[in-house]
Chains A and B, each alone.
Chain A
Amino acid sequence: MTARPTPLCLSLLTVAAWALSLAVLSARAELFVAALPLVLVLAALALRPSIPDYALTHEVSTDWVFEGDTVTVTVAVAARSAVPLMEVIEPLPYGSELASGRNRAVMALRPGQTASFRYEVRWTGRGMHDLGAVVVRGRDRWGIRAWERRHVDRTSVRVYPRIAPLRSLPRPFHTQASVGDYTSPALGEGIEPGNIRQFTPGDRIRQVNWRASLRLGSLYVTQRHRERNADVVLMLDTLTEVGVAPETTLDLGVRAAASLATAYLARKDRVGLILYGGLMDWVRPGSGRTQYERLAGTLLRADVVFTYVAKDLAVVPPRVLSPHALVIAVTPLLDQRFTTAALDLAARGFDLIVLVVSPVDVTRGMLAGSETDDLACRLWALERRARLDGLRRHGLAVLEWNPAEPLEPALAGLERRRPRLAAAR
């Protein structure tokens, strides 16, 4: 590390040279005297520079947050030798903004003294962000010599997508073997009453329906439906996106998927995830807190990877995409390959819901709002409505979500009938 003269040196040299020249020209001793402080300071450059000895520590309040939350960063400097003037800067990572405080500090320390500063960073977009690259710029007593050092104490902060609380969720048609919140058609132990049948040996007394038994003259028992959970697979379209980060259709889709995952996991369902795009990635269905972290970790990495290849869902293992799972496809429906994949799933009898993140509203938000833009958006919206109606005619349950509005009303608008019943009519 080398100490270098600062631009202040050149200013001082210029003024000193001008003062000496004027002194010679005007033959006034005062100007020699006036130049003396400047000359004395510049003469200090001939001395050997001493680089201060110090220790820098960098701490982050938490290593994970949700979008829009803040992280407190504390930077402390402990001086082992005198530090005349030190500038400490921590550049903000991409996608972050200062919530409070400042990410630059200037300090002067005596030997053994410690100084610290803290600030809060807010991330507006999901992802893995690195903090901890601190640049220290030191100056000597007169600011005529400076040196710079970079400290890297890398700390990763995971920013998870923001979650919207959802109370009404689409109900799966099929249930699984574990206990959950859905009433299963299968009869057994449960709360929800089902059919009434005649008493058979082995039935418990508490199952006897006394009212029916008295009326019909023999013992009858009430059968009950089991409460079971379901498998839900979220399929996220990462083929393409529109909009500006952190409000692209993919970002909005990731938030919707995270909200759905949280709500279904809270209902004891098993939730899986498929990222359908240039790079296929998936998470096996599972339940519990650990599963949420697994899903959120995969959603963090979700990004558009351009490809010409049409991905086949056959590569997804059946244990990830089980035939009895409710599949919720979250997509802006901008790429025909995803539409084809969704139709393929529906044709194979999957219980499929397509949640369409409206790209028209996202694009409209980016534009200046001229008449031409408005007309183009309206035409595009008409064209998309026709496409969505076409998909509905194929038997797909399609929900269109305007990201400017909450997700819950869009989900509540879904009317679902079992395909078997629909076919019977």
Chain B
Amino acid sequence: MIRLPAAALAAVLFVVPVLTATVPAVAVLALIGLLLGAVGIATLWRWPVTSAACVFLTDYAAALWLADAPVSVAVAVGFGLSLLLLLESVELARCMRHATVDAGVARSLVTRWFGFGAATLVATFSAMALAFALAALVPYAAAPFVAATGALGAVLALAATVLRPRL
């Protein structure tokens, strides 16, 4: 049952880049992502789903670059949430396979997902407002370096949090 939302999320991730830029190359890449996602959802292996998420991201980046459209925060938040929920729903499906699932699990999941979606939207708009304010302070030439340094710092900080030894 949990595979249905996962499949729906994969479909959303397929549709968003295709609608952003109607170019055959984008559609082909989206199809590869969908295929990997289908394999992951069917077999409940982690690696095809993670690969599918990366392919969808690449496809989305390519579509944005090709379309060169104005920034759409709501679509981007939806895309990011879909990626997150796809990965989580496959993990949950692995957990629930061959198990008796209590009725409270579905209720708890729906509440959590909607709550987190709303919180993410608020956080994104706050972050965007903050970014616009800070952008005025950063020189135009240094912006790529600041972005790269910020991204690298964020990834390293997250990696350190995930991989730190637990006692």
Contact = CB atoms under 8 A, between A and B. Distances in A.
A143 B101 CA distance: 16
B134 to A, nearest CB: 13
B102 A21 contact: no
Nearest to A16: B158
A42 B53 CA distance: 16
A40 B49 CA distance: 20
Contacts of B147: 23-24, 27
Interface stretch (A100-108, A213-221, A252-260, A394-402): A100-108
A117 interface: yes
Interface size range on A against B: 35 or more
A56 interface: no
A17 interface: yes
A105 B100 contact: yes
Interface size range on B against A: 35 or more
A101 B64 contact: no
A37 B122 CA distance: 11
Interface string A3-36: 1111111111111111111111111111111111
A357 interface: no
Quick one: which of A12, A14, A115 has the most chain B CB within 10 A? A12
B155 A16 contact: yes
B105 A18 contact: no
Contacts of B92: 85, 143
Contacts of B161: 42-43, 45-46
Contact of B77 (A18, A36, A117, A142): A36
9 A-B pairs with the lowest CB-CB distances in the bound complex, closest first: A34-B80, A30-B76, A107-B102, A33-B76, A104-B99, A20-B151, A108-B108, A22-B61, A105-B100
16 contacts: A4-B166, A8-B88, A11-B91, A18-B54, A28-B61, A29-B128, A31-B57, A31-B64, A33-B76, A33-B128, A34-B79, A36-B120, A36-B127, A106-B95, A117-B100, A139-B95
Given A13-B158, A27-B147, A108-B107, 12 more contacts: A8-B88, A13-B155, A13-B162, A15-B83, A16-B155, A19-B57, A23-B147, A26-B65, A32-B151, A43-B161, A104-B98, A106-B99
